């Protein structure tokens, strides 16, 4: 299979080695070694990304814009195939694309220090900032309504009605708890009807492993532009809060370990504002804290919806994994809301 893919890049059979790489839930990733160079190869999950060519379009448009307007901005463009394509389709195998592995860079799976949170937030902020002049109409949405929390909420209600009966019974208390947060959905609906909330080039997957760091720990660039599409800044800032604030991830089963680290919140705010302070509107800034509640709540209901739908989207490695993830995110949301007053009053 790998030969069939890599020959499109001009790699002769037997001239390369391939190792599994990374731990995303959606795409498969490998590291490829070929003639002293290293690459990252990915198979795009076409159940999730129904039109993988939309991703290729977006990356191409962005790359062209950046080359013209911000030639110094460090952007990792995909390796082109012999036929000059950014993504290839292999019959029976799926869609693939490959990137050069950035020498001297490393990615992290877990945020360990506030400085890492700061560096990542600065990188995601800078990314949206350098693309401020880019017309978002040129972008496709590879997953339409990806962060439309009204729709996610609707899907949750539908799953609660028509999903796996035993699972719905088992998770009754958690469902009831999550249904209490309808205000988060209403806030979103107000946001999208307010023209002062701008649609911008948004990454939509700001976990730490989507930032490359250099050896000294400085952020180099953002990667993984699959979910790049027009969106609101709350998606990017919110997913950083969701994934950097607690010392444990969405997979943690011991919920007592889920805590909110104030200094990491501050680091995200300083890092992001350092780039975006002049770009964000006054009203957007008022929703900075809200971003975290928005993303955590949406993730909680997405996991629970999937649990009720027999894990058809996220899959599961053990029975009840998506229930654990949903419960974990519900606690994270609670812990964050407990700190609303303290965290919203941080002066920047
Ligand atoms: C998925 O594949 P990965 O881990 O980058 C999901 C995100 C979720 C995340 C939760 C396309 O991201 O939205 O936040 O899982 N991506 C898609 O771990 O659904
Ligand atoms: Mg991703």
Residue-number span of the structural domain to which 152 is assigned: 114-344
The angle subtended at Cα 164 by Cα 331 and Cα 309, nearest 5°, is: 70
* Residues 240 and 149 placed together within one structural domain of the fold: yes
Partners of 211 in beta bridges: 222
* Residues 9 and 149 placed together within one structural domain of the fold: no
* Residues 175 and 284 placed together within one structural domain of the fold: yes
CATH of the domain at 66: 3.30.200.20
* Residues 191 and 94 placed together within one structural domain of the fold: no
Distance 226 CA to ligand 2 centre (A): 6
* Residues 316 and 186 placed together within one structural domain of the fold: yes
- Report if residue 107 sits inside a domain: no
Using pLDDT thresholds of 50, 70 and 90, give the confidence band for residue 2.
confident
Q: Helices (H), strands (E): how many in the chain?
A: 13, 9
Protein residue with its CA nearest to atom 16 in ligand 1: 26
- Given this model, what pLDDT does residue 196 score? 96
- Given this model, what pLDDT does residue 220 score? 97
* Residues 123 and 96 placed together within one structural domain of the fold: no
* Residues 278 and 129 placed together within one structural domain of the fold: yes
- Given this model, what pLDDT does residue 6 score? 97
Using pLDDT thresholds of 50, 70 and 90, give the confidence band for residue 161.
very high
* Residues 125 and 50 placed together within one structural domain of the fold: no
- Given this model, what pLDDT does residue 347 score? 72
Q: What is the mean pLDDT of residues 314-324?
A: 97
Using pLDDT thresholds of 50, 70 and 90, give the confidence band for residue 188.
very high
Per-residue pLDDT reduced to its tens digit, 218-245: 999 999 999 999 999 999 999 999 999 9
Q: Which of 25, 109, 241, 300 is the pocket-test mutation for ligand 1 (most atoms within 8 Å of CB)?
A: 25
CATH of the domain at 159: 3.90.1200.10
Distance 227 CA to ligand 2 centre (A): 7
- Report if residue 109 sits inside a domain: no
Distance 242 CA to ligand 2 centre (A): 15
- Report if residue 317 sits inside a domain: yes
Place of tokens 């990454």: 203
Query: Is residue 1 predicted with pLDDT exceeding 80?
Result: no
80, 101, 122 - which closes a domain: 101
- Given this model, what pLDDT does residue 24 score? 77
* Residues 192 and 128 placed together within one structural domain of the fold: yes
Q: Counting ligands in written order, which one lies closest to the CA of residue 236? A: 1
Ligand 1 atom index nearest CA of 25: 2
The angle subtended at Cα 152 by Cα 147 and Cα 155, nearest 5°, is: 155
Average pLDDT, the chain: 96
* Residues 75 and 151 placed together within one structural domain of the fold: no
Give the residue from 156, 137, 341, 121 showing the smallest Cα distance to 243: 121
- Given this model, what pLDDT does residue 348 score? 74
* Residues 39 and 178 placed together within one structural domain of the fold: no
Per-residue pLDDT reduced to its tens digit, 25-76: 788 999 999 999 999 999 999 999 999 999 999 999 999 999 999 999 999 9
Number of domain units in the chain? 2
Distance 26 CA to ligand 2 centre (A): 7
- Given this model, what pLDDT does residue 346 score? 84
Ligand 1 atom index nearest CA of 207: 5
């Amino acid at each position: 299979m790998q030969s069939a893919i890599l020959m499109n890049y001009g790699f002769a059979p037997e001239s390369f080695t391939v190792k599994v790489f990374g731990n995303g839930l959606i795409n498969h990733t490998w590291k490829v070694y070929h003639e002293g160079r290293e690459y990252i190869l990915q198979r795009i999950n076409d159940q999730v990304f129904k039109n993988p060519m939309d991703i290729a379009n977006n990356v191409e448009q962005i790359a062209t814009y950046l080359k013209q307007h911000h030639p110094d901005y460090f952007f990792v463009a995909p390796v082109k195939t012999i036929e000059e394509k950014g993504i290839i389709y292999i019959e029976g195998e799926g869609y693939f694309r490959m990137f050069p592995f950035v020498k001297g860079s490393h990615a992290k799976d877990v945020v360990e220090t506030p400085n890492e949170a700061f560096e990542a937030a600065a990188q995601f902020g800078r990314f949206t900032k350098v693309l401020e002049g880019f017309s978002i109409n040129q972008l496709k949405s590879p997953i339409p309504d990806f962060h439309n929390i009204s729709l996610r909420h609707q899907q949750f209600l539908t799953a609660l009605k028509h999903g796996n009966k035993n699972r719905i019974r088992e998770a009754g208390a958690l469902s009831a708890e999550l249904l209490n947060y309808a205000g988060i959905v209403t806030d979103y609906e107000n946001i999208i009807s307010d023209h002062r909330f701008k649609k911008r080039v948004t990454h939509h997957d700001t976990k730490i492993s989507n930032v490359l760091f250099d050896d000294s720990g400085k952020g180099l660039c953002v990667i993984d532009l699959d979910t790049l599409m027009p969106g609101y800044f709350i998606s990017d800032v919110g997913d950083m809060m969701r994934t950097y604030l607690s010392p444990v991830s969405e997979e943690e089963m011991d919920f007592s370990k889920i805590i909110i680290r104030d200094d990491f919140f501050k680091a995200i705010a300083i890092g992001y504002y350092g780039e975006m302070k002049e770009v964000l509107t006054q009203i957007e800034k008022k929703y900075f804290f809200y971003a975290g509640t928005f993303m955590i709540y949406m993730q909680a209901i997405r996991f629970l919806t999937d649990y009720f739908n027999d894990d058809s989207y996220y899959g599961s490695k053990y029975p009840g994994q998506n229930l654990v993830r949903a419960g974990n995110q519900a606690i994270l949301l609670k812990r964050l809301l407990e700190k609303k007053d303290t965290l919203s009053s941080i002066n920047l």
